[in-house]
């Protein structure tokens, strides 16, 4: 017997609802399932053709954010599933099912059991709810978002006005997946322990990273991994001068490091595609800067992400910078995995 219990998430403006009644639409969720099929950055979308025409622009704006590496790469890529292939995509790792109260096509018929419930239909008609979230519905580790609007224009409007929330639902799951992939049984504990013992802070470094440069007196470390070339440097300033949290100092300091410490070449920040935002990083006040690095002597270059933040317990400003050189390859997947490592930063006060 299906348990008709609706559990609301604490996000009333976004209108997210998780409901056991979705099992009526989607089939038993408790049966044994195969693992979901992982495709890097791919979000499969099931929607009737007319609905897809109406909402694809809003969905692409939400998920297909461009990263300059320097060639344009997308964080996610949407794939519209035709009716004839729906069964083949039921094991997609990221899956969006989008429809309306008025849809009459294959996907519209799929959602009939949801909208047949008077309470749920009323919440959709009133605009109170439009997102239903399911985990492990058709496959293990699957994230499914079911988007339902009164009609196609109102569904498009809800997607546009809740773009950030919809992106974060997928991106949080992506990061959780990558943490397991990058670090589960793959941590270089010797290097991570060395950082904590010597400097009172650390990151969970993946295997194959090694210490390329170490200057304790200058509060600077450079860790590297080959094939393709990836590097993470750390720089910290004692005294807690939060005025350093701005783009001008960050770029100047990164350029100084590129001139001073890198062996056999000089690296600098390129002028194009440079962007900084004031935010938080691991609950610390921060400026995150993205852009391109370049070496004019040999025409090399690539993307970087720089996290500069203030840690109150240690009274330090830290700079964690990730970068790579991978000509001929897509770089965004490598950046994502390096972001996972940067996100494991912690000090002795956190452990």
**Per the structure block, which two tokens stand in for 59?**
């969905």
Over the stretch 270-327, which tens digit does the pLDDT of each residue have? 989 999 999 999 999 999 999 999 987 777 899 999 999 999 999 999 999 999 999 9
Q: Which of 313, 310, 167 is nearest to 245 (CA)?
A: 310
Residues 6 or more apart in contact with residue 185 via CB below 8 angstroms: none
Question: Among the CATH numbers 3.30.379, 1.20.58, 1.10.150, 1.10.3470, which is that of 6-182?
Answer: 3.30.379
Residue 9's pLDDT is: 28
Residue 164's pLDDT is: 97
Residue 112's pLDDT is: 85
Residue 263's pLDDT is: 67
CATH 3.40.1000.10-classified regions of the chain = 187-347
Residue 98's pLDDT is: 97
CATH 3.30.379-classified regions of the chain = 6-182
Looking at CATH, the fold of the domain delimited by 187-347 is given as Protein Transport Mog1p; Chain A (3.40.1000)
Residue 298's pLDDT is: 75
Burial of 98 (0-12, 13-18, 19+ CB in 10 A): buried
Distance CA(281)–CA(339), nearest Å, equals 11
Note the pTM of the prediction, 2 decimals. Answer: 0.86
Residues 6 or more apart in contact with residue 85 via CB below 8 angstroms: none
Spans of the chain, pLDDT less than 50:
1-15, 17-24
Number of residues assigned to the chain: 351
Residue 177's pLDDT is: 93
Residue 42's pLDDT is: 98
In the beta sheet, which residues pair with residue 302? 293
Residue 6's pLDDT is: 25
Over the stretch 205-218, which tens digit does the pLDDT of each residue have? 999 999 999 999 99
């Amino acid at each position: 017997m299906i348990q008709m219990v609706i559990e609301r998430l604490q996000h009333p403006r976004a209108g997210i609802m998780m409901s056991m009644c979705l099992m009526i639409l989607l089939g038993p969720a408790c049966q044994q399932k195969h693992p979901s099929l992982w495709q890097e950055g791919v979000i499969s979308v099931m929607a009737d053709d007319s609905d897809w025409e109406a909402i694809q622009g809003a969905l692409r704006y939400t998920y297909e954010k461009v990263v300059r590496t320097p060639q344009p790469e997308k964080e996610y890529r949407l794939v519209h599933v035709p009716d004839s292939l729906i069964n083949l995509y039921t094991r997609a790792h990221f899956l969006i099912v989008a429809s309306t109260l008025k849809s009459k096509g294959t996907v519209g018929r799929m959602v009939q059991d949801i909208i047949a419930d008077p309470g749920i239909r009323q919440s959709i008609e009133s605009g109170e709810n439009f997102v239903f979230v399911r985990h492990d519905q058709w496959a293990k580790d699957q994230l499914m978002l079911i988007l339902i609007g009164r009609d196609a224009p109102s569904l498009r409007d809800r997607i546009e006005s809740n773009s950030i929330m919809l992106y974060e639902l997928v991106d949080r799951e992506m990061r959780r997946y990558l943490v397991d992939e990058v670090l589960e049984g793959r941590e270089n504990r010797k290097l991570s322990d060395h950082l904590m013992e010597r400097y009172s802070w650390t990151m969970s470094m993946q295997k194959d990273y090694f210490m390329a440069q170490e200057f304790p007196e200058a509060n600077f470390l450079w860790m590297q991994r080959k094939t393709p070339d990836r590097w993470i440097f750390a720089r910290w300033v004692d005294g807690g001068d939060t005025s350093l949290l701005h783009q001008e100092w960050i770029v100047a300091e990164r350029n100084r490091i590129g001139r001073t410490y890198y062996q056999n070449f000089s690296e600098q920040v390129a002028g194009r595609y440079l962007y900084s935002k004031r935010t938080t990083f691991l609950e610390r006040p921060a400026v995150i800067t993205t852009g391109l690095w370049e070496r004019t002597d040999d025409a090399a270059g690539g993307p970087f992400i720089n996290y500069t933040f203030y840690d109150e317990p240690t009274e330090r400003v830290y700079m964690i910078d990730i970068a790579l050189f991978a000509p001929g390859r897509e770089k965004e997947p490598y950046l994502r995995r390096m972001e996972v490592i940067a996100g494991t930063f912690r000090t002795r006060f956190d452990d």
